[in-house]
Amino acid sequence: MFKKREAAQLAAALLDRAGGRLNVLKLTKLLYLVEREAMKRHGFQVSDDQMVSMPKGPVLSQSLDLTNGFIVSDEWDGLVEDREQHEVRLKHAIARKNLDALSDATMSIVDGVWAEFGQMNQWDLVKYTHDQCAEWKDPKGSSSPIPAQRVFMALGASAPDAELMAKEMKAQQYLDKLLADADD
């Protein structure tokens, strides 16, 4: 189940590190790299967004839809201004307490991704994700899902381990959904 609140807070954290504004394509690449690193370090994603291959590299499907305004979300709209001229901006300054859906471990990932990739422009990130994210497959002008198992294998897991990790991640997502449904 996609976690809009976590996705919005990840975007806000990255926008904050960028001084409050980012090119849309750059933001989508950074969000993908944060989720990929979370899978590498912890075996799960932060927002449980669907990873997809698109012509300009891998992206998070629903986060891209939020960025483009195709999904309505109070969480996103409370933190991020509407897309304008290929940029998004923070609505207001944020503090760590505004990012309460993100653990300290997740914030460490955000900081690490920003330190490594924040100075790159969107086209450098497109090239990087094409060249360095082996899970990306050229969808020939369309889009195609990136299975979690393929991400884990690209991160160095053996095929059997990647399969097990993908199953564990799916089981955790199912448990999170059950717990969320119980809270409603």
pLDDT score of 184:
64
In a domain, 181, yes or no: no
Confidence band, pLDDT 50/70/90 cuts, at residue 102: very high
Q: What angle do CA 57, 47, 62 make, to 5 degrees?
A: 50
In a domain, 119, yes or no: yes
User: pTM, whole model, 2 decimals?
Assistant: 0.94
How far apart (Å, rounded) are the C-alpha atoms in residues 170 and 119? Answer: 33
Q: How do residues 140-183 score in pLDDT, each as one tens digit?
A: 999 999 999 999 999 999 999 999 999 999 998 888 888 877 77
In a domain, 173, yes or no: no
Query: Taking residues 71-94, what's their average pLDDT?
Result: 89
Q: Concatenated DSSP letters for 117-136?
A: HTTS-HHHHHHHHHHH-TT-
Mean pLDDT of the chain: 94
Domain count, the chain: 1
Query: Which residues span the domain enclosing 61?
Result: 4-146
**At residue 136, does pLDDT exceed 70?**
yes
Q: How do residues 25-62 score in pLDDT, each as one tens digit?
A: 999 999 999 999 999 999 999 999 999 999 999 999 99
In a domain, 112, yes or no: yes
Which tokens go with 181? Answer: 């449904």
Sheet with strand 51-54: strands edge to edge: 57-60, 51-54, 144-145
How far apart (Å, rounded) are the C-alpha atoms in residues 104 and 92? Answer: 22
